[in-house]
Amino acid sequence: MNEPELTITWHLPDGQTLVTGGWSRLNLLAHADTYDLELPQKCGGHAECGTCRVRILSGELSPARHEERDLMMRHARRFEQGERLACKARPLGDVAVRVLAMIPPDLRDIEETEGASEPG
């Protein structure tokens, strides 16, 4: 792989911080896999389950695409401010990411939020 073009700072559930190189063409889930970080995912990166979500602490990422926005809207009450799906979010520069301590539930098994609105 080419030299990293950016830095990703991972804040892990056990309190550790790991700084890795990164590439704007890879999503955060692929970066986690590259560096053997345990980041849950149950749908193969198709923005269907929501289990790979992370909290973005700083930095710029690719805009949420339709499938990610749709899942976040349908389950708006289950997404906290600043959360994104690692399978869809690509870093555009240096970013800091918090890996959630609790594995989010598979949203395919949960009823959708009624009257959901676009998450903030």
Using one digit for the tens of pLDDT, what is the confidence trace for 81-109? 999 999 999 999 999 999 998 777 778 77
Position with higher pLDDT, 104 vs 51 = 51
> How many structural domains does the chain have?
1
Position with higher pLDDT, 115 vs 86 = 86
Question: Would 82 be classed as within a structural domain?
Answer: yes
Per the structure, the complete domain to which residue 104 belongs is given by 6-109
Distance CA 15, CA 11 (A): 7
CATH number of the CATH domain containing 54: 3.10.20.30
Question: Would 64 be classed as within a structural domain?
Answer: yes
Q: What is the mean pLDDT of residues 59-68?
A: 96
Global pTM reads 0.84
Alpha-carbon Rg for the chain, nearest whole angstrom, is: 14
Tokens for 80?
Answer: 């906290």
Question: Would 1 be classed as within a structural domain?
Answer: no
Q: What is the mean pLDDT of residues 23-52?
A: 92
Half-sphere exposure of 18 (CA within 13 A, CB side): 15
The pLDDT of residue 120 is above 50: no
Question: Would 116 be classed as within a structural domain?
Answer: no
